[in-house]
Amino acid sequence: MRLSRFFLPILKENPKEAEIVSHRLMLRTGMIRQQSQGIYSWLPLGKRVLDKVNKIIREEQNRAGAIELLMPTLQSADLWRESGRYDAYGKEMLRIKDRQDRDMLYGPTNEEMITEIFRSYVKSYKDLPLNLYHIQLKFRDEVRPRFGTMRSREFLMKDAYSFDIDREAAEHSYRKMFTAYLRTFDRLGLRAIPMRADTGPIGGNLSHEFIILADTGESEVYSHKDFVNFDIPSVDTDFDDVAGLQAVFDKWTSVYAATSEMHDEAAFAAIPEGDRLSARGIEVGHIFYFGTKYSAAMGASVQGPDGKQHDAHMGSYGIGPTRLVPAIIEASHDENGIIWPKSVAPFDVSIINMKAGDQACDAASEKLYAALGKAGFDMLYDDTDDRAGAKFATADLIGVPSQIIVGPRSVASGEVEIKDRKSGARETLSIDAAINKLVASS
């Protein structure tokens, strides 16, 4: 992508409404724009990151055997009357009347709708286990939306729903998602700690929040330090291996970790003082096993091997992509801007032409652009006539992992400079060597 043909509205000033660094950087880099309170557009730079986050989430959901569908945003109130949540859900639910005066709502979550889908089609235990997910907009009318897309009203959620014949099978399904989440956050460059959590309005009796540590987090969390070094389940994980996933789950729940709601002072005090971690955290995922709460209320049962009807045992599993993007920034930035993990960077490489219009600089930049494009890199080529200092600042601000700096002096000797955004390390190389180095490290 040539910057002259992209839409990257960088703000020169720090927006004063931004209270936390991710919100400030997302506004400054032109990733998002607030359209109404707690309602955002994702501008092209932000959209690219969001797409990469969604792609990783999808890959890990699919690997764990979940199947993607797409439910609508608007739901009928009648569905929620069946589960009893229509009246129970507070003002966070956006209630709507359509032109026929029917009660509708903008879905804050989809347990009811997926249960309706399940009961309409699935009749036998032979069709289980089943896990269906979608990545879809939700709306929760928070009194005080804040921190940009970290806590917005309209937001994207990946929500998966598992159905099993009994508790034992359902707990295996729960551990599949538990394992998939560990892999997902790791691939996003985050170290997330699963913590026993309160189940809240979803209900049920087994639940974990996945929390990343950040000073700006909304939750207080308490855990053992060992989490930082636990191994992440490998790409070859067999999700059908009941004992294998049990071992992953046991390991990751073997030491103390809790949010303030579930905190047990005595258990925490029992940890050697040097191993205690007390910090603030951001919730980036939440999983629930809630048994037959919805299936019993809504008549979602299947015939078991015993010939009798059994209410399906269900779980639900949420990740918020529009919250993950700022969470990644909170975890990875410096005073000059964002430092994207490679896996979600909006571009792989920035090519900075220090003197656009100069024949040698243009030729070298075009050569790099063509060769790296052919090698499959996503590039942002700064071909504008801004001054070099502004280009450097923009490249650091938007945090693309590798920069190639094409300046008149080095180009005269056939060389360019590669800068690593994270370490700041710079290296001067011939153009061909620069191409080879980037290809080799990708």
Binding region for a copy of itself (CB under 8 A): 5-7, 9, 30, 33, 35-37, 39-44, 46-47, 50, 65, 67-76, 79, 91-92, 94, 96, 98-100, 102, 104, 106, 113, 116-117, 120-122, 130, 132, 137, 139, 141, 143, 153-154
Nearer to a copy of itself among residue 96 and residue 297 (C-beta): 96
Q: What strand order describes the sheet that includes 426-430?
A: 379-382, 349-353, 402-406, 415-420, 426-430
φ and ψ at residue 434, rounded to 5 degrees: -65, -45
Within 10 angstroms of residue 33's Cβ, the number of other Cβ atoms is: 13
In the complex, what is the shortest distance from the CB of residue 349 to a copy of itself, in angstroms, rounded to a whole number? 18
Instruction: Decide whether 362 or 386 has the Cβ nearer to a copy of itself.
Output: 386
Burial status of residue 260 (CB atoms within 10 A of its CB: 0-12, 13-18, 19 or more): exposed
Nearer to a copy of itself, 9 or 200 (CB): 9
Q: Where are the alpha helices (DSSP H) in 151-261?
A: 167-187, 242-252
Min CB(262)–a copy of itself separation in Å: 29
Shortest Å, Cβ 144 to a copy of itself: 11
Residue written as token pair 């937001």: 155
For a copy of itself, the closer CB: 90 or 272: 90
Nearest to 404 by CA among 376, 375, 367: 367
The nearer residue to a copy of itself, 65 or 304, going by C-beta atoms, is 65
- Closest to a copy of itself by CB, 35 vs 428, is 35
| Nearer of residues 24 and 419 to a copy of itself, judged by Cβ | 24
Tokens encoding 171: 């707990």
88 vs 247, which CB is nearer to a copy of itself?
88
* Phi and psi, residue 340, nearest 5°: -75, 135
Concatenated DSSP letters for 324-385?
HHHHHHHHSEETTEE---GGG-S-SEEEEETTTT-HHHHHHHHHHHHHHHHTT--EEEE-S-
CB of 420 to a copy of itself, least distance (A): 28
Least Å from the CB of residue 248 to a copy of itself: 21
The minimum distance between CB 143 and a copy of itself, in angstroms, equals: 7
CB neighbours of residue 394 within 10 Å: 21
Q: Minimal distance in Å, beta carbon 270 to a copy of itself?
A: 44
Alpha-carbon separation of residue 400 from 292, 308, 374, 376, 393 (angstroms): 47, 58, 19, 16, 12
Give, in order, the Cα–Cα distances in Å from 97 to each of 6, 53, 77. 40, 34, 10
Rounded-to-integer distance, Cα 145 and Cα 253, Å: 32
Reference 4, options 400, 382, 399; nearest CA is: 382
Q: Which residues pair with 283 in a beta bridge?
A: 211
The nearer residue to a copy of itself, 378 or 417, going by C-beta atoms, is: 378
From the CB of 96, what's the least distance to a copy of itself, in Å?
5
Integer Cα distance of 292 and 106 in angstroms: 24
- The smaller minimum CB distance to a copy of itself, of residues 245 and 411, is found at 245
Q: Identify which of residues 9 and 299 has a Cβ nearer to a copy of itself in the complex.
A: 9
End-to-end CA distance of the chain: 19
Torsion sign across C-alpha atoms 261, 265, 266, 272 = positive
Q: How far is the CB of 429 from a copy of itself (least distance, A)?
A: 31
H or E segment to which residue 115 belongs:
helix 111-121
Minimum distance of a copy of itself from residue 204's CB (angstroms) = 23
Shortest Å distance, C-beta 123 to a copy of itself: 10
